[in-house]
Structure 1
Amino acid sequence: MHIPFQIALVTPEILLLVLSVVVLLVDAFNKTQERRLTFLLAIGSLLLMTLVSLWQWHAGVSGRAFDGLYVADPLSHLMKIASYLAVAAVLIYGRDYAEQNDVLQNGGEFYSLSLLTLLGQMVMISAGNMLTVYLGIELMSFALYALVALRRESVAATEAAMKYFVLGALASGILLYGMSMIYGATGALDLRQIAEVIASGHAQRMPLVFGVVFIVAAFAFKMGVVPFHMWVPDVYHGSPTAVTLVLGTTPYLAAFAVILRLLVEGLHGIALDWQPMLLILAVLSLGVGNIVAIAQTNFKRMLAYSMISHMGYVFLGLLSGVLAGHAGAIEKAYGVSLFYLLIYVFSTSITFGIVVLLSRKGFECEEIADLKGLNRRNPVIAGALLASMFSLAGIPPFAGFYAKLSVLQVLVGADHVAIAVVAVMFSLIGAFFYLRVVKVAYFEEPDDEAVAVQSNNGLITRGLMSVNGLLLLALGVLPGGLMALCVKVVEQSLKF
């Protein structure tokens, strides 16, 4: 493949790197406390990236570059566009919070580090080799560590950053060890070459299976599933709320893309070995996430345990792709998982966005009690909260209902009826704490402290939140287009 064509494939990553450096340099000379120019440059960069990826997708730009290290295909285009839009929403929601709560007191690193985090996610999404996977994960993780510790004078933020860094380094070591074992078993790092060696029967089975165990454990940590979830509530709680919004959305898109490429494309030949591991992780996550969330009074910690339970649903979709060694509705199952994750990101971005909007200088809207009487104070934000809570709970007509129903359908289609029943039971338990939030916002009288919590954000921020809420409703009523798109990109991109 000619060098110019390879460079054309990686245009989004090169362009984002250049734009991130420009944002850093401009911010160095921007002495205003608000960093408005830095914010506008970051948003403009994301819009430009969206246009570039849309053009590549429409033009059919696809292929493998640099001896398979990098892959451009419909799946990568879709996931990158979703990541751009999610990061843009994060920056818009978090702008006023960052200005008022000392996140920008030492500079506009919140914006530049968010872009560098996105760059790592893009490398992960387009990884065709285990080396590229590791490079993308570390690029993303180091930027996230810095974001969590951005509020230097906060003891809680520093503690959260240290926990995240130490446990993240441990997970990276586990991932590297698993990759080394797979390399020893197959003699390859390229995912397609690994799949070919496994299909030929020449792979050494024992180190291969052990390598898969370590890789699944490492990504279970990255996605915060049980029993590798201990860091999630503490890091979510201790981080500045705008940073929690970053942590709770786009990294899961990139981690899911890597799991698809590693397990589905590279290691699908031994699916019966990693399928039981995903089953155990999924059931544990559903149980622990939903049950422990009931006891939470802190809204951010409740959302952390909610995230754990939703990752269990994502894993249920993944494990449904293979039954008794025979491929059965594989594209449908993996497409359903992708659809579920996209809906989760849409829903949770609204929820964390509301927490950011209702926070002000000297006050963090972290407790569920802080939402008392929200409907009387701001009906638009209360309506968006209702949409996100109903979607996360899986209540029709919002998109979360169809997402959960689709996962249950592929589970039943794969003869995992008992697991589907268990998932429904835990979803009913989970509906309690989501509806509790709606009850507090709509049916409880605001106290003096809650009345003082006001949103000072402009029309754009509230308009974006309204659009997000309406999107959840629209995707719940007419989900077929996005679902078909998810299944289509899986069919076009993954080879198994």
Structure 2
Amino acid sequence: MITSADFLPLLPEIFLLSATCALLLTDLFISPSRRGLVHFLALAILAVTAILTLRGVPGVDLPVRVLSGSFQRDGAGDLLKLFAYLATALTFVYARPYLKDRGLFKGEFYLLVLFALLGMMLMMSAGTLIVAYLGLELLALSSYALVALDRDNRRATEAAVKYFVLGALASGMLLYGLSMLYGATGTVDIARLYEAASALQGEDRTLLLFGVVFVVVGIGFKFGAAPFHMWLPDVYQGAPTAMTLFIGSAPKLAALGLAYRLFDNAVGGIDMNWQVTLAWLAALSLVLGNLIAIMQTNLKRMLAYSTVSHVGFLFLGLANGTPEGYAAAALYAICYALMATGSFAAIILLARQGFEAEEISDYRGLFRTHPWFALMILLLMFSLAGVPPLFGFWAKLAVISAAIDAGLLWLAILALVFAVIGAFYYLRVVKVMFFDPPSDDVRIEPQADVQLRWVFSANALAMLVLGLFWSPLMEMCLRAFGAA
């Protein structure tokens, strides 16, 4: 029997849903000149949701399962949620001046992002296959609408159509895989599915393994892993930068949460083939992502292929298949979310009406005209490349160590080789900023958003601070995933 106590673990989700619906109604009665109120209300909603998540469940020890097991609240989900809130808050701060300059500063942006965040939270706390899929689709549908928000932009519209078509295909594959898991085990409950799958023999076990393959394909698409990355470059380049910033950061945390629920809680340990599959996906992502990124001259497209390579690194942790491996993957996902928000914010910082600052050549001589921001971008590029002692180095070290612990020495060596190769295209951006002659287009408007400047600087400096003091965050990840 469901009681009111069953809804206490869902308090952050319930509040976010209620507050977003209230914000939707509020936006109807706010004049365009006072649209900034929606911005601050959205940030306040995120702050309250974070507080509710940090408070835990009064009088109840985590983990806890409620609503007949369809929702589970635990340390892993809460940790990923908190950093998803942070990435979303950074998105709001960075996107505001960009949207204002292009006539896109509308309540729909904030509402779609908050609904997408709600979908991510459901993915991170799913207790059944149905809830996991509902969360995934809420995130996906909101993301499609975000990419197409600028209806007068032909590139954005084309990107949204590609995203929708390929996303629908991937969702269908994932749903087909989940239906196979249900058909083989007779349950959608993730905890019961593990128990039922352990006893399967013959044709039922074969059906289960086919289902796992389709689940891996669906999750590979959501991460943007090769060879399921075909949507990523066109969507990242075609979408307005503010939208690219969001879909390129926080959803990676949600995809990790979904992968953890399905691979560890549902099919973990039943058959090791899914870990071998993840290892080969990681290898393919590392090779294709880094080699193709070298050839790019468009910064957004370069960052898109860079994302493919970073997904390869993240899969090193997932392929480990132990709590330590999931903790390393979580650290990498957190690191990448922060690096991605900062990298796309650098584009927004230099962009202005009629100049999108998307080409690498657009950053020529930035050190001579704006030395502080050139140094901040350098920190972000070096962290993405994995240069010590920045945060990206320790995140890469954690997942490579997880691959070695899993007996995947060949994959760890491949990751090291392509980490060195991948450093080339990040250093190219640094070379353009510090050693090329400045261009007249390279300037930051004096009236540029002050909040954007300060938050961007803090975001970049965090790569250095977290690099120097990364151990506490790693310990948090280990505790959250039950490895400590």
Length-normalised TM-score, structure 2 = 0.96
Letter in 2 for 1:406: A
CA positional deviation for 1:218: 0.7
1:146-295 to structure 2, matched below 5 A, reads 146-201=145-200, 204-295=204-295
Within the candidate set 412, 425, 429, 2:417 is matched to 425
Deviates more, 1:460-469 or 1:241-250: 460-469
- Structure 2 CA distance for partners of 1:449 and 1:83, relative to 1, 3 Å: same
Q: In the alignment, what sits opposite 1:325? A: none
CA positional deviation for 1:475: 1.6
- Structure 2 CA distance for partners of 1:455 and 1:221, relative to 1, 3 Å: farther
1:257-406 to structure 2, matched below 5 A, reads 257-321=257-321, 330-406=322-398
CA positional deviation for 1:348: 1.1
Q: Within 2, Cα distance between the matches of 1:428 and 1:118?
A: 34
Within the candidate set 458, 474, 480, 1:483 is matched to 474
Letter in 2 for 1:469: A
Contact between 2:350 and 2:442, CA under 8 Å: does it hold in 1?
no
Letter in 2 for 1:361: Q
CA positional deviation for 1:225: 0.6
Letter in 1 for 2:54: L
CA shift digits 1:402-438 (9 cap, x unpaired): 1111222222222222211111111111000011111
CA shift digits 1:251-289 (9 cap, x unpaired): 111011000010111101334120111011110100000
Local SS of the residue matching 1:103: coil
CA positional deviation for 1:219: 0.8
Contact between 1:316 and 1:407, CA under 8 Å: does it hold in 2?
yes
Letter in 2 for 1:65: V
Contact between 1:263 and 1:271, CA under 8 Å: does it hold in 2?
no
Contact between 1:9 and 1:62, CA under 8 Å: does it hold in 2?
no
Contact between 1:399 and 1:475, CA under 8 Å: does it hold in 2?
yes
Local SS of the residue matching 2:47: helix
Letter in 1 for 2:159: A
Letter in 1 for 2:472: G
Q: In the alignment, what sits opposite 1:416? A: 408
Q: Within 1, Cα distance between the matches of 2:434 and 2:28?
A: 45
Letter in 1 for 2:448: N
Within the candidate set 407, 431, 449, 1:458 is matched to 449
1:81-120 to structure 2, matched below 5 A, reads 81-104=82-105, 107-120=106-119
Aligned CA RMSD, in angstroms, stands at 1.7
Q: In the alignment, what sits opposite 1:76? A: 77
Letter in 1 for 2:324: K
Q: Within 2, Cα distance between the matches of 1:168 and 1:115?
A: 20
Q: In the alignment, what sits opposite 2:64? A: 63
Local SS of the residue matching 1:448: coil
CA shift digits 1:45-90 (9 cap, x unpaired): 1111111111117974541111111111111111111111110001
Local SS of the residue matching 2:72: strand
- Structure 2 CA distance for partners of 1:286 and 1:492, relative to 1, 3 Å: closer
Q: Within 2, Cα distance between the matches of 1:471 and 1:267?
A: 36
Contact between 2:147 and 2:240, CA under 8 Å: does it hold in 1?
yes
Letter in 1 for 2:35: R
Deviates more, 1:170-179 or 1:372-381: 372-381
Letter in 1 for 2:380: S
Q: Within 1, Cα distance between the matches of 2:374 and 2:140?
A: 33
Q: In the alignment, what sits opposite 1:327? A: none
CA positional deviation for 1:382: 1.7
Q: Within 2, Cα distance between the matches of 1:305 and 1:36?
A: 34
Q: Within 2, Cα distance between the matches of 1:241 and 1:34?
A: 24
Contact between 1:34 and 1:99, CA under 8 Å: does it hold in 2?
no
CA positional deviation for 1:25: 1.5
Q: Within 2, Cα distance between the matches of 1:157 and 1:464?
A: 27
1:29-68 to structure 2, matched below 5 A, reads 29-33=29-33, 35-56=35-56, 60=61, 62-68=63-69
Q: Within 2, Cα distance between the matches of 1:147 and 1:171?
A: 19
Runs of 5+ unmatched residues, structure 1: 322-329
Contact between 2:97 and 2:449, CA under 8 Å: does it hold in 1?
no
Q: In the alignment, what sits opposite 1:324? A: none
Local SS of the residue matching 2:422: helix
Letter in 1 for 2:399: V
Residue correspondences, number: 482
CA shift digits 1:223-244 (9 cap, x unpaired): 1111100000000001010000
Letter in 1 for 2:94: Y
CA positional deviation for 1:33: 4.9
- Structure 2 CA distance for partners of 1:154 and 1:110, relative to 1, 3 Å: same
Q: In the alignment, what sits opposite 1:472? A: 463
Q: Within 1, Cα distance between the matches of 2:389 and 2:214?
A: 40
Letter in 2 for 1:263: F
Q: Within 1, Cα distance between the matches of 2:214 and 2:387?
A: 36
Q: Within 2, Cα distance between the matches of 1:63 and 1:492?
A: 18
Local SS of the residue matching 2:65: strand
- Structure 2 CA distance for partners of 1:464 and 1:58, relative to 1, 3 Å: farther
Letter in 2 for 1:277: T
Local SS of the residue matching 1:10: helix
Local SS of the residue matching 1:268: coil
Deviates more, 1:416-425 or 1:253-262: 416-425
Local SS of the residue matching 2:269: helix
Q: Within 1, Cα distance between the matches of 2:53 and 2:255?
A: 19
Length-normalised TM-score, structure 1 = 0.94
Contact between 1:87 and 1:250, CA under 8 Å: does it hold in 2?
yes
